[in-house]
Structure 1
Amino acid sequence: MTHRKTALAAAAALLLPLGLAACGDDKDDAAGGGDHKITVGIKFDQPGIGLKTPDGTYTGFDVDVATYVAQQLGHDPKDIVWKEAKSADRETLLQRGDVDFIAASYSITAARSEKVDFAGPYLLAHQDVLVRADDTSITQPSDLNSKKLCSVTGSTSAQNVKTKLAPQAQLQEYGGYSECLTGLENKVVDALTTDDSILAGYASQAQFKGKFKLGGFKMSNENYGIGVQKGSALKAQIDTALQKMVSDGSWDKAVQKNFGPANYKNEPAPQIGVVVR
C-alpha cells in the first residue's frame, strides 16, 4: 500500500508541471485573443489605391479608408496587420478567416455577394481609359476603333470595350498595368483601360505627372465595398464608420490626397447601402 501511494505521488509530481504548462498556454492564448491586432486585406500593387512601398509602408485611398475604419473599430493604426488581397483570392481570404475585412478596389457584384457580405459602397468608380496628355484623337469610346488598347491579361475591362464599344480596337494584353503605362508613354499603345480610380492612382505617381489624362468616359459603374465574412457583425459597424468618414470630411481629404494629382473627377461619396448599377 505504501509503495502504491509513493508511486502515485511520484506520477502526480511528474504531471504537475505539465498541468501548469497547459494552464499557462491557455492564459497566453487568452491574452493573444484579447490583443488589438486586426488583419486587413488590401492591394499591394496599385498606386493611389493600395501600394506597399519599398520601405515597407502602405499608401493609397483604400489604405486610408481601411485605417479610418479600423480606428473606429477601436484599433490603433500600428495594430493593423496588412495582408495582400489579390483579386482572385479575396473571397477565399474572407471565407477562411485569414483577414477581418478587405478594402481592395473590391467591386460589389451579385456573384460576390453570394459568398461574402459588403459594407459600403465607399467609392463609385467607372471604367475609363488613360491616354497621353497630348492626345486629341480619343475623345469618345468609339475613337478606340483601330487604336491599340492595353489592359492586363484576363481583364474584363478591355473585353468590355472591344465587344460593346469599339470592336475594331487592337487589344494588347500585358502582365501588369505598369507595363501598359510604359507602353503608353513610349507610344507602343494608345490607351489603357480599367477603373478610373486605378488609372488616376497610376497617373498620380511623380514620374508620370503631366504625362497622361483620363478620358472621362464612365463606361461602367464600379461600386467599391469593404468585404467581410458572410453574416459578420462587422458589416454594420463598418457602415457606421464609413458614414462618419464622409460626414467629418476625412473621405474628401483621402480622395484629394490620393487622386488629386491626376485631376480625377470623382463622384460624390456614395450613399451607404445603395449600389449604383
Structure 2
Amino acid sequence: MAFRHRRGTAALAAAALLGVTACSAVLGEDRSLVDASSLAVGVKADQPGLGLATGDGGFEGFDVDVALYIAGQLGVPEENVEFVGVTSAEREQKLISGEVDMVVATYSITPARKTQVTFGGPYYVAKQDVLVRAEDTGVQGVRDLEGRSVCQGAGSYSAVRITEGLGIGVEQVEAPSYSACIDMLREGTVDAVSTDNLILAGFLAEDPSAFRFVNNPFTDEKYGVGLPHGDVEACEAVNKAISRMYQEGTAEELLETWFGATDLDVLDSVPQFEGCV
C-alpha cells in the first residue's frame, strides 16, 4: 500500500464548496514522505544488476539495494518497503497517481521530467554507451553506428540522443523494454543497443559470450530518485542519505557486488546533486 501523500476527490469537492482553489487546498494538506512508515517503490523488473524480478515476488539489483538503503535512512524498515515493477514509460504516471511513492529505476533527471517529478540525487551518474554482438568488430565508438539500426526501450531517449544530440544517422527501433532490445540484438534484428552503461553492463554480465561492450561512453546520465512533485523535504532527506551511502563506503560495496565482474569503471564518489527545486 502506497503512502498516501495526496488528498482524494472528497477533499477537492470540499475545497470547491469553500470557494478556494483545489490546488492550494490539496497542497496545504500534503505530507512529506519523511513522515511515512511504509513506502511503495517503483523499480525495473527486467534489468539484470539493477532491478530484476526474482520469480518469487521479490526484486534484486543495485537500484533495489539503493532504495532499501534510502528507506532505512528515512526510518522505514525493509519489511515495510513494497517494490513495484515499472517500465520507463510508466514511471511518471505511477508516481503522479500515487501508485508508488518513490521511483528508483535508472530514472535519468531531465528538465522535462522535473516539471512533473521532484528528483533527489543523482545517486549515480552513468554514461551512455553501446552494446553490439560479440562478433561485430566494426563498432568502436558511437559514430560507427551511422547507417545502422539502434534499439531503445519505450519511454527512453537513448537513440534520440544519438540522432538529434550528435547528428548521427541511425535507424531508431523502439521496443517495449531494454530486455526486449537485448533479445532483438541477440537475434540479429537490430545492430546495436545504446543506453546507460550500467544497464548494458548488467545484460553483458548475464551473457558475456554473446555481446561486446564498446566501452567508449558519451553523455552523462544522472540517475535520480523520483519523488512526488514539490516534496522538497523528502528530497533533502534523500540527498543526505545518498551522501552517507557514499561516504561510509556502502555505494562502493553495492557497485562491486552487482558490477564487479564486468570491466566497467564505476563512480565511487558522491555525485553532484541537482538541488531540490
Indicate the TM-score class for this superposition, using the shorter chain for normalisation. 0.7 to 0.9
Query: Alpha-carbon deviation of 1:125?
Result: 1.1
Asked if the contact 2:88–2:155 (Cα under 8 Å) also holds between the matched residues in 1, the reply is no
Give the match for residue 193 of structure 2.
192
Instruction: Return 5+ residue gaps in structure 2 as ranges.
Output: 1-34
- Matched letter for residue 86 of structure 1: T
Secondary structure of the residue aligned to 1:138 is coil
Conservation of the 8 A alpha-carbon contact between 2:246 and 2:268: no
| Partner of residue 252, structure 2 | 252
> In the TM superposition, what whole-angstrom CA distance separates every residue of 1:32-81 from its partner, at most 9, and x where no partner exists?
xx994222121222222211121222111110100111111122212211
**SS state at 1:254 partner:** helix
Aligned letter for 2:214?
G
Show the counterpart of 1:221.
Answer: 220
Q: Which residue of 2 aligns with 1:67?
A: 68
Corresponding residue for 1:212?
211
Q: State the distance in 2 between where 1:167 and 1:272 align.
A: 30
Greater CA deviation, 70-79 or 183-192?
Answer: 183-192
Q: CA offset at residue 183 of structure 1?
A: 3.4
Contact conserved, 1:209 with 1:262, CA < 8 A, in 2?
no
Separation in structure 2 between the aligned mates of residue 175 and residue 93 of structure 1, nearest angstrom: 17
- The answer for the alignment partner of 2:267 in structure 1 is 267
What secondary structure does 1:136 align onto? coil
- Cα distance in structure 2, aligned partners of 1:173 and 1:39: 29
SS at match of 2:63: helix
Structure 1 segment 39-188 matched on structure 2, within 5 A: 39-152=40-153, 155-165=156-166, 167-188=168-189
- Taking structure 1 as the reference length, the TM-score comes to 0.77
> Does the residue aligned with 1:264 lie in a helix, a strand or coil?
coil
Q: 1:165 and 1:100 mapped to 2: Cα distance?
A: 35
Tell me how far 1:143 sits from its aligned partner.
Answer: 1.3
1:148 and 1:166, CA in 2 relative to 1: closer, same or farther beyond 3 A? farther
The CA deviation at 1:186 is 4.0
Matched with 1:240 is 240
Instruction: Please tell me the root mean square deviation across aligned C-alpha atoms, in Å.
Output: 2.5
- 1:125-163 Cα distance to aligned partner (Å, 9 max, x none): 122110233432211222112333333356422233234
Q: What CA distance in whole angstroms lies between the structure 2 residues aligned with 1:183 and 1:130?
A: 12
Q: Which one-letter code corresponds to 1:131 in the other structure?
A: V
Q: Distance in 1 between matches of 2:215 and 2:133?
A: 13
Structure whose alpha-carbon radius of gyration is higher: 1
Q: Give the CA deviation at 1:272.
A: 4.3
Give the AA of the match of 1:198: I
One-letter amino acid of the counterpart of residue 216, structure 2: F
Q: Rate the CA distance shift 1:248–1:153 in 2: closer, same or farther, 3 A.
A: closer
Which residue identity does 1:96 align to in structure 2?
A: S
CA distance in 2 between counterparts of 1:176 and 1:90 reads 13
Of 183-192 and 234-243, more deviation after overlay is shown by 183-192
What's the offset of the Cα at 1:94? 2.8
Deviation by residue 1:56-114 (Cα, 9 ceiling, x = unmatched): 22111110100111111122212211123332332333333332321111111112222
Quick one: structure 1 residues 154 and 80, their matched pair in 2 at CA, closer, same or farther if it must change by over 3 Å?
closer
- Select the structure that is richer in helix: 1
Contact 1:122 / 1:269 at 8 angstroms: preserved in 2?
Answer: no
**TM-score normalised to structure 2 length:** 0.77
Q: What letter corresponds to residue 244 of structure 2 in structure 1?
A: K
Conserved? CA contact 1:108–1:224, under 8 Å: yes
Three-state SS of the structure 2 residue aligned to 1:217 is: coil
56-65 or 124-133, which deviates more: 124-133
Structure 1 portions without partners, runs of 5+? 1-33
Q: Which amino acid aligns with 2:245?
A: M
Q: Is the 2:151–2:159 contact (alpha carbons within 8 Å) kept by the matching residues of 1?
A: yes
Change (3 A) 1:142 1:122: same
Amino acid corresponding to residue 252 of structure 2 in structure 1: D
Tell me the equivalent position of 1:23: none
Percentage of matched positions with identical amino acids: 36
Number of residue equivalences: 240
